[in-house]
Amino acid sequence: MLNIFFRTIIIYVVVVVAMRFMGKRQIGEFEPSEFVIAIMISEVAAIPLGNVATPLLQGIIPVLTLIIAEICLSFICIKSGRARNIFIGKPSIIIEKGIINQNELKKVRFDLEDVIEELRCNGYCNISDIEYAILETSGQLSIIPKPAYAPATKQDVKAPLNPSSVPFILAKDGCIIYSELSRSNHDVNWFHSQMKKFNISKVEDVFFASLDSAGTLTMQKKQANKKSRGDFNA
């Protein structure tokens, strides 16, 4: 029993480290070669887990081999555009200036209903509103609307541009994060004074507190029970 336990832990660590070397892509954003590698890794890693008599190295060595192959292939694709087109492919323009490219649609075996669904999910109902729709090599559909239907930016409406930054996380789960409090140019006395505005008497009762670049403090009190919740902004 302990043998199975330790074998599982070792294989788990090896696979996690191996996947870490593949980068920080989400599963839905894998390139074709990366997706194949992920499937093969899961298969070969399961071999020594299903049969205790199988040496552990018969699972570890194939996993490491696949990762090395993926790293080498990635390097080749970076250096060679032709190799990238063969192993990874290239983006396909599905819609151009409001017109569906039917030949490209057939080439990538993408159904028209899939295109319409993707447009709806991104807030566009009419194909004629789209300047370009590009099917990326990861399978994601990038949508570029016509200027008239693009969301307005602050520059379009001449709104003031306020610099944004990551908010300061001042407290979590009843503990003040003093380094963040200091970076926000405030001290503990200020934090306690703000707690009173949210009707919180003890730091231990603060579930979460953050301060954004505009000076807005968000503080949430720990839940006393499932029916009570405190969410406030100041």
188-210 pLDDT per residue, tens: 999 999 999 999 999 999 988 99
Segments in the chain forming alpha helices (H)? 2-21, 32-50, 57-79, 81-87, 102-107, 112-121, 178-183, 188-197
pLDDT of residue 230: 44
CA distance 29 to 228: 39
pLDDT of residue 192: 93
pLDDT of residue 232: 47
The SS3 assignment for 132 reads strand
What pTM does this model have? 0.57
**Averaged pLDDT, 196-225:** 87
Q: Comparing 75-79, 101-105, 167-171, 181-185, which segment has the lowest mean pLDDT?
A: 75-79
Q: What are phi and psi of 137, to 5 degrees?
A: -65, -20
Delineate the domains of the chain, giving CATH numbers in brackets.
2-86 (no CATH), 92-149 (3.30.240.20), 168-233 (3.30.240.20)
Q: Does the pLDDT at position 55 exceed 60?
A: yes
Angle between helices 57-79 and 2-21 (to 10 degrees): 0
**Averaged pLDDT, 69-81:** 82
Computed over every residue of the chain, the mean pLDDT equals: 80
User: Tokens 């299903």, residue?
Assistant: 50
pLDDT of residue 181: 92
